[in-house]
Structures are given as structure tokens and as C-alpha cells.
Homo-oligomer: A and B are copies of this chain.
Amino acid sequence: MRLVKLLCSISNPRSKSKTLFSLPSLRGGAISFFSSFSSSTAMDASGESLRRDLAGKQAAVDAQADAVRSLKARPGVSPSEIEAAVEALKKLKMESADIARQIQSSTVAADESSSSSGAAAAVGREAFRQAVVNTLERRLFYIPSFKIYRGVAGLYDYGPPGCAVKANVLAFWRQHFVLEEGMLEVDCPCVTPEIVLKASGHVDKFTDLMVKDEKTGTCYRADHLLKDFCKEKLEKDATLLPEKVAELKHVIAVLDDLSPEQLGAKIKEYGITAPDTKNHLSDPYPFNLMFQTSIGPSGLSSGYMRPETAQGIFVNFKDLYYYNGNKLPFAAAQIGQAFRNEISPRQGLLRVREFTLAEIEHFVDPEDKSHPKFGDVTNLEFLMFPREEQLSAKSAKKINLGEAVAKGTINNETLGYFIGRVYLFLTQLGIDKDRLRFRQHLPNEMAHYAADCWDAEIECSYGWIECVGIADRSAYDLRAHSEKSGVPLVAHEKFSEPREVEKLIITPSKKELGLAFKGSQKMVVEALEAMSESEALEMKAALESKGEVEFHVCTLNKVVIIKKNMVSISMEKKKEHQRVFTPSVIEPSFGIGRIIYCLFEHCYYQRPSKTEDEQLNVFGFPPLVAPIKCTVFPLVKIEKFDIVAKRISKALTTAGISHIIDITGTSIGKRYARTDEIGVPLAITVDSTTSVTIRDRDSKQQIRVDVDEVASVVKEVTDGQSTWADVMWKYPTHAVTPADEA
């Protein structure tokens, strides 16, 4: 009974909760590593045979789906027959998904595990990351929070340059999305009452499985322990039999889908103990990742720190729709803090307990997902990694966005438009387009209600990191809040003239049903009322021909007999003046901290010092995100240069350009190097009272500019109106002497 099942599953959680910004990279089929190391997409023989199995299984799924459709279409087929066919289809789908996961796992393992080149790559990545992180921490891009109190895992501060980068990223986000699309920006509190997150599914399902050291009480993520165990075995135990290797790889592949019982059984079977003490572990149990608190003084009103910003938008849908003149489509946006009480945070800035999200909810008529501005992005071409490529173990490839939508690879224009806009956003920030891909979710990753879902993944030393999720979530969220709050969150389409429609009327007889089912009456009534049109008409026909019919009630989990006097089913003609519907929502959701961390890695490089005995660190930030746009250095410590430097500083402040002025006597080369390391694009050196030099960070080229013009030249370049190459043409070049660089 399709509709009844749908009702049962509507209480499913916002499944994004578990997938968005969850384990990075390991889900994505072929993994190509840190760009200086060749990516491996080789598959072994067992991979080949798995893919053949998958092809066979998918054919079986298609055939069974056809069978179900024709059964449903044929009159007089009993519900139990249909039910059996649907069950068989479900079983086939699960088997197919299982093979898909095994393909993933063997690809991952081929990339990750014991091969010596893989190990070398891992060492190189680790060293690169250390170099970046050392520079970031030393120059206070970020600081472990509460460091003087030995810190708290998963909490970080942005220090001055990091904070400036973040402010620049957010300002550009507002410009690129909110202003450009005329989005409605809102700002909701982090403290959220329980009922809202109950409706969204977070209270019940936003969990990770945890085990405790039975003696010390130390907590661990159950899947981490199991995965670490399997990976270590695979890497270090040369005596493993092939069957064992296959088994361990399979466990890694299906990790996300194991129940607490299955996880617990594996932990027992492998004899896994607490890593620090070797004590026994408790059975796995779900730990809710939300920070809980109490609102008001009574202690009776439970609340949580929001795990995402989206819910604040959904609960305001009605007001926002009104604000938009009761017209669709429109988008609302929100930037704000979100909180996830991770069991054991790893991976530095990528997995933290508090982070900034920027989310867009674009509300659209489910029957029309076209986008008026799709033409603006249709010619973009960039790395996409559609489902098919992942399952056939290919790599991401350059695809034309217009074609991807035309061919149905991307579900609809609006989704495609946002994918294109996200691509432009990230690359304009400074993300390397060759280390950015859009990966489509596999069927087993997606929520049952989602129409399509793509992640913008950025490759860094940790692998491919999910930084933006772009999902067509259908009507799920608005429906969930409508139901819980009793406030209809719907849109209206007024017809120019009334339309005559046939409407299904189902009237269960409560009296007869009560006599027949007593305490279960309510569930039977609800199941009857929830039938789809075709199901109801089927039942009507069966009741008229046979007088009774078998009926599966999902909430009772059994089949009951419905008799003719228990329900009346009819079609009535009505005039309708409007269509009332729940809008679909397309949601691009940005993990700002992750984007910033990847940006740090992509912009970082080293170059030798003048004497070649030292490597100098450079962050090659585009002016748009550079924390400080320019420096002012008097060449030598004399008063007249100081005066000029201060005059220039004042002009820069007036022009709104963030800058620092360094009047220490340090050599000019050292001062350049010091500010290259925090990514300052331009340096002004005052070496006369009439004209000064401007130096470009990356090329180290210099031009000579009049003192009175210098602020406007800097503004031109840092605002993006001109490039360095443009101004190099306009102004005389200043020859660089050896004394100029460190």
C-alpha cells in the first residue's frame, strides 16, 4: 500500500543530517589524491567481476520494477500479491546497493591501503599538511580555542588573518548569492526548542553510534574503532587469507549502514577493545550529536543548539512567502553558527563542534523547476562525477553544465543553476578548479524523498572533502513542519478561470470499523484515508465485485479484511479556483570553515629564499579573500618617509582598504617575506617623497606610482577592476634589486 508506507516513512529524519558534512571522501568511488601524486583508479580482477554482478542485478531490478507496475495496473490483483512483488523489488534493490558499496570499498582500498606508492603519497600529504598548518598556527590564522586551559577538542578560534579571510568569504557569499539573486536573508537564533528539531527528525535520528570503555567510561565512535581495526589489519597483516581481505574490505564499505547490533557483533567477533586501556567495550548505542540545554529557569523546557540553520527558514516559510508577494520561486538564505557535539573530533578544522554554515533554501513549484537565469551558466564546463561514473569506477570528468541538465544527469534546471553558481563562487574565491568536483549522491546515500543531490567536493591533503551540498529535497521539510505545527506551509496557484476536477472522497465508517477492529480502529481508519487515488479505486472495484478485500495496515504491520460496509469510496466533481501545493526546496548548504581550510591548502606554496638556504611560505590568496590587501613600508627609518607612509595609510583607510604599516627597521626583503606569509597581495614601499613602489606578491614585480595615485591603484587591483598585468602596462616598471627580496 504505497501511500500508507509513505506516511510511515514521513517520520524519517532529515536524512541530510547524517550525510551532509559527514565522513569526507570515502563514499565517492574513485579517490584521486593530493594533486602532486598520481591518482589511482586501477581496479583488480574482483572489481571487474563485481561490476558484472552489479550490471546483472540492476537488470533484475528494472525487470522487477516493471512487473510491479503492471501488477498494480491490472484490475483484480490482490494487495498481497502486489505486496510480495514490492518486497522482492526491495530485496533486489538492497542487493544491488550492497554490490555498489563493495565496488566503492575495493576502489577505496586500492587507493588507500598497503601499496607502497599509496604509502608514499600519504607521507607526502602529511608533510604538506604539516607545513600549511604550522604556518597557519604560527601566523594566527587559527588558534585552538582556550589554549591556555589546554583547549577543547573540536573548537578553534580564527585569529586576525583567519577572521579577515572568513569575513571576506562571507561578504562575497552575500554579494554572489543574496544580492545577485535577490534572496531573502534571515537571522535566527542558535537556541532552538525541542519541538522544532523533533519535527525535523534531529531529536530522534541525529546520532552516531558510541561505545564506552567499561572501566574508565571513555567514549569512542563505534564505526571509527571498527574501521581503524580493519584498515590496520589490511595494512599490516601480510598473512591474511584472500577471503579475510575481502571480508574486511566489505565491512569498511558497509560501515555507514550497520545497525547497533551488527556493529556490536563485529566488535565482539574481532575482539576489539578500548585503544588506550585494552578494556572491554560496551555495546554500541546511539549518541545524539546535538548540544542539549534548557530554556528558561524551570528546567522543563528542553532545547538544543541548532545543528544546521535551515530549520529557521522552514518554520518562517509562510511569512517569507507572503513577504515575496505570495509568489514562487524565491530563495531565503541564512549565515550562522551551527553546533555538533562530535564524539571524537578528528581532522583539525574539517570536523569541529561549532562552525559557520551558509544555507540557501530555494522554494519552487514541484511542477516547474526551470530557472530563468539558467542560460547564464549553461556553457560552464567543469569536473562532475555522476552516479554512473562512480559505479563503473571511472573518474570525475569535465562535463558541460547545459548538457548535463539536458540529458537528465542533473535532475532539473534550478539544481543545475545552483551547481553552476557554486562552481563560480568557489573558483572565484581561489579554489583550484582541477581539485574541485561535483559528485552526485548514490541512491543509497540519498534520503528517500530527495530528487537529486550533488556535493561540491574539494581535494585537499585529507582527500576529497564535501564542502557544499546541493540537494533537491522535494517537499519533505515543509511537510514535516506543517504536520507537527498544524500550520499549513503551502503555496497557491490561482487559476485564471476555475477548473473542474474529479476528487476522491474516502469515508471510512467508524462504527463498523470499531466493531470489527476495536482498539486498532484508529490505525485502520488512517490507513484507509491515506490511500492514493489508484489504490482507492482498486479497493472500490474489489469491494463491489467480491464484497471484501485484504488490506495491509502498515502501522499495525498486518493484513486485515475490509468489508463493503466499512468504507465508502467515490469520485466527485468539483470546481477549483486554485491549486494548493507544498513547494519543493532546493538547498545549497555551505560549510564555510571547510571551504576556508581547503582554500588555505590551495593557496599555499613555498619558494626558495634569495640564498636558497630556506623555503619561504606564501599564501597566494586572490585579493578578494586576502586578509590584508596591502602593506606600507618606509624603506628606511627616516621621518620624511614615515610622514608619507602615514599619508598613504590615511588614504587607504578612506578607500576602505585593510592594510598594515610596518615602520620597523627590518630589511625590506624580510618585511616582504613576512607579509607574503599571510597572503598580502600588494606591498607599497616608500623610497621617496613623491613616488613609491608597489610590489606584487606572486610575481615579485614592482611598478612606480605617484604618492597621490597609489591608494586608487591599490583599490583598482584589490577590488578586482584591474589585474596586476593591467596596471603593469600603465605604470613604469621598477627594477628589482637583490636587496629587495629575502
Contact = CB atoms under 8 A, between A and B. Distances in A.
Interface in A294-311: 294-298, 300-301, 303, 305
Contact of A297 (B160, B175, B341, B487): B341
A71 interface: no
Given A217-B298, A305-B305, A315-B146, A152 B353 contact: no
Contact of A186 (B149, B163, B219, B323): B163
B187 A487 contact: no
15 contacts: A143-B316, A146-B195, A152-B303, A158-B186, A160-B323, A182-B660, A189-B353, A189-B354, A190-B305, A191-B291, A210-B297, A292-B293, A293-B293, A293-B305, A325-B664
Interface residues on A, range: 35 or more
A188 B315 contact: no
Interface in A465-501: 481, 484-485, 487, 489
A192 interface: yes
List 8 A-B pairs, minimum CB-CB distance, nearest first. Answer: A158-B187, A148-B485, A219-B297, A160-B184, A148-B487, A189-B354, A157-B188, A291-B293
Residue of A160, A167, A190, A318 with most chain B CB atoms under a 10 A cut-off: A160
A463 interface: no
A98 B487 CA distance: 54
Interface string A169-187: 0010011000110101111
A218 interface: yes
- Count this chain's copies in the assembly: 2
A508 interface: no
Contacts of A664: 325
B146 A192 contact: yes
Chain A: interface secondary structure?
A: mixed
B319 A189 contact: no
Residue of A149, A196, A305 with most chain B CB atoms under a 10 A cut-off: A149
Residue of A218, A301, A341, A354 with most chain B CB atoms under a 10 A cut-off: A341
A155 interface: yes
B174 A186 contact: no
A392 to B, nearest CB: 40
A470 to B, nearest CB: 22
A339 interface: yes
A634 to B, nearest CB: 16
Given A341-B297, A343-B296, A145 B305 contact: no
A264 interface: no
Interface in A207-261: 210, 217-219
B339 A195 contact: no
B341 A149 contact: no
A670 to B, nearest CB: 13
Residue of A140, A189, A485 with most chain B CB atoms under a 10 A cut-off: A189
Contacts of A159: 184, 186, 316, 319-320, 323
B292 A297 contact: no
Contacts of A489: 148
A360 to B, nearest CB: 14
B186 A316 contact: no
A319 B656 contact: no
Contacts of A481: 148
A287 B297 contact: yes
A191 B149 contact: no
A354 B191 contact: yes
